[in-house]
Structure 1
């Protein structure tokens, strides 16, 4: 379906100037086009994920604060409430707003709309916003039926859509709203918070570092591992340069772990970043990018991509030991033949002979891409959430007793290498990390707090004292 931008502003006309006999030319309407894709196709989903790109095909720049996008959908019930989140935006999520409106007497699939706006920025002539990777979800985190939504289309590649409306200054310039879906006055947008959200003792890091040698890394209580030892292939090294902070969308940076192997210990370079030991009860969260394939070289190694908390093991079967893991094995391992994600809670272990005292929950499927991982440790229970859904609940003997560190690492399972001497390289990324001490936060509350920090321009805060 092709977008049909209006040729002129509604109501635009030639008006007389003060000078007698001189008329002003008609002002050309902005020629704004929109392309749309979804990153969550399917009749029912955990989150609706409309992604947009706006382009300016006109002859003058357009202030983004004057532009709004409306995505129309049907509420799952008259009283159902929704929340908006910006996952990525080239123009920065801190400038993107999202509000919900109701269409009076709307039809099935078109009685609500998400209105996306901007607080700043300009769309240059011939320019585009780049990706606006957006999502919304029910406040109760139940699944959403989107197959009958007016604006929804299942395509996962960008294409024009005539069922998503674009307004400039409140005037429709492209798209066709549903009946009753074009009120004359747009709803007000909610400005971003001016101060970071959340009370109590928290840690937030947006990983806005220059490189692995940035002095702020240590000042913010992170350590890039360089010492030898496990886990992984015996003889592997952990070089500092395997940690970097590339831009992943616009100016937004992420922590990147890079690990490579040629199948030998001497040819294996793994990576890990860890925070100081001061965490116990509360909520832990990170947005993590998992990969199914190497960036280069042949595929198939048993590689482990992780986000976890841990207390060191002082001796075999140490009862004070604890660990809570998110571990993704894209090529399987430990007896599994293919992609599997584990959440594992540990009481203790012995290395030789091997004795593991743990409990785990797993899902056998691909988890390639970005995921919001949330861990709640409170009231004798350990709860793991992935993308807003409860994945596992553990407790009892597996509940941690002593303070832990927070870790991200990327390593190869010993004995799980393919029969090739060609080097292969894997990467894992972490967009942000958040911890709220002694607070139990839902995944949506975590998202709201992280978005609030970003909207306020806060890249790091740490008010959790060291033990």
Structure 2
């Protein structure tokens, strides 16, 4: 819900210590080979720009979801935060992920790494991914010294084999040489067994309500927010009438949130709907319609469209706080110039002065239209799916510890309104919400279950125990 800031220094102290081993180049029978070039060859640069081309020399296809590429570097003094971006990729940036990790103990040339992964796709035998044009920068946009980085090759301005970047497949090193004494080899993606398959209770809501004052809405444990405060534009209100239940197709209704503004705090109205705090492990899902443009008035405001879970912050840096967010910013914000989708997992934060402990993945593209969002929280891992594809995976200190509520809200970023007094408004719609307590449900199976409820004309069910 807030600016995406990763405090590497603080997070480093909380991460599990990773035991390093020296890693040599992959053996001849291994199929994957990495080629590298840089488009920023200077010893210092505004951004580090490693470009990759992954080659499959084997006789069978390789699922890219099990592949991780690690680029090792030395953090600059005073720099604890880095941001990743995919500029362009033959396989599509929407399938490319980038996260940062810490090496403990570090070496003279590496105490951090950028780990690049893929959410989907297969690399056929004899094929290559083609360009993966990647970059990362300091969050404060200060210049980066890369001349002392393990993986940097200043003379590599055209593609060629490069063993100072490692490739891992299903957790095993298959190419490259990590910094001696500093290789935190990734573990295979864990197979999560449901802790209580289908037996912890479910919540399903098809949002067949009349208005935001419908007594059934309250009876089903939903609250339409009306109290003042953040997030968003200071002075904004959260009126009930900004939450409606229009018919979206045939007889099918949806929850609709509206946010509108005339460019002033007093003239800004936002909306939020939340469920009671009784959720923790299990599967959360919703079908959400995002929008890139206002339904009326000038475009360009920094608007945030969301589906998230949250435990309230009791005090600054409260260790029991948690939050898992899907956040879509159609017009950018927080330094981003345009469409961006975030999946963010939070450990804690402090408002004044701002300090946050979170981890996030992002994709820069339009997500206008309907999307199936699935969040799995189980076995120490948090997985975010969009339309059946894995979007992000987090764990460690970001895993939630206490009961959370489920929320949808629509709000404007403070300082992000366009300079116009013309009235404009945005909407976000939610077709349905589903939760299965203590069960990992695959995205396809979620849709099967929702279809079953609708076939049986079941508009609402809640068997998850209340707190």
TM-score range, shorter-chain basis? 0.5 to 0.7
Q: Distance in 2 between matches of 1:277 and 1:351?
A: 23
CA 1:465 to 1:348, structure 2 compared with 1: closer, same or farther past 3 Å?
A: same
Structure 2 counterpart SS, 1:458: coil
For 1:308, the equivalent position in structure 2 comes to: 308
**Quick check: which has more Rg, 1 or 2?**
1
Q: Distance in 1 between matches of 2:378 and 2:393?
A: 11
For 1:387, the equivalent position in structure 2 comes to: 387
CA shift for structure 1 position 200: 4.0
Task: Within 5 Å, give how 1:23-102 maps onto structure 2.
Answer: none
For 1:370, the equivalent position in structure 2 comes to: 370
For 1:237, the equivalent position in structure 2 comes to: 237
CA shift for structure 1 position 437: 0.2
Structure 2 spans left out of the alignment, 5+ residues: 1-118, 123-196
Task: Within 5 Å, give how 1:123-202 maps onto structure 2.
Answer: 200-202=200-202
For 2:253, the equivalent position in structure 1 comes to: 253
Structure 1 counterpart SS, 2:428: strand
CA shift for structure 1 position 199: 5.1
- Please report the TM-score for the alignment, with normalisation by the length of structure 1: 0.58
Q: Deviations over 1:292-327 (max 9, x none)?
A: 000000000000000000000000000000000000
For 1:154, the equivalent position in structure 2 comes to: none
CA shift for structure 1 position 466: 1.2
For 1:297, the equivalent position in structure 2 comes to: 297
Q: Distance in 2 between matches of 1:244 and 1:447?
A: 24
CA shift for structure 1 position 143: 6.5
For 2:463, the equivalent position in structure 1 comes to: 463
Q: Deviations over 1:209-261 (max 9, x none)?
A: 01111100000000000000000000000000000000000000000001101
For 1:359, the equivalent position in structure 2 comes to: 359
CA shift for structure 1 position 263: 1.2
CA 1:453 to 1:199, structure 2 compared with 1: closer, same or farther past 3 Å?
A: farther
- Please report the TM-score for the alignment, with normalisation by the length of structure 2: 0.58
For 2:214, the equivalent position in structure 1 comes to: 214
Structure 1 counterpart SS, 2:218: helix
CA contact (8 A) 2:358 2:398 kept: yes
CA contact (8 A) 1:226 1:240 kept: yes
Question: Is 1:401 the equivalent of 2:417?
Answer: no
Question: Is 1:285 the equivalent of 2:285?
Answer: yes
For 2:267, the equivalent position in structure 1 comes to: 267
For 1:329, the equivalent position in structure 2 comes to: 329
Q: Distance in 1 between matches of 2:424 and 2:312?
A: 31
Q: Distance in 1 between matches of 2:374 and 2:411?
A: 22
CA contact (8 A) 2:278 2:405 kept: yes
What is the RMSD computed on CA atoms of the aligned residues? 1.5
CA contact (8 A) 2:120 2:390 kept: no
Structure 1 spans left out of the alignment, 5+ residues: 1-140, 145-196
Structure 2 counterpart SS, 1:450: helix
Q: Distance in 1 between matches of 2:406 and 2:436?
A: 13
Question: Is 1:225 the equivalent of 2:188?
Answer: no
CA contact (8 A) 1:198 1:449 kept: no
Structure 1 counterpart SS, 2:217: helix
Q: Distance in 1 between matches of 2:245 and 2:256?
A: 6
CA shift for structure 1 position 369: 0.2
Aligned length: 275
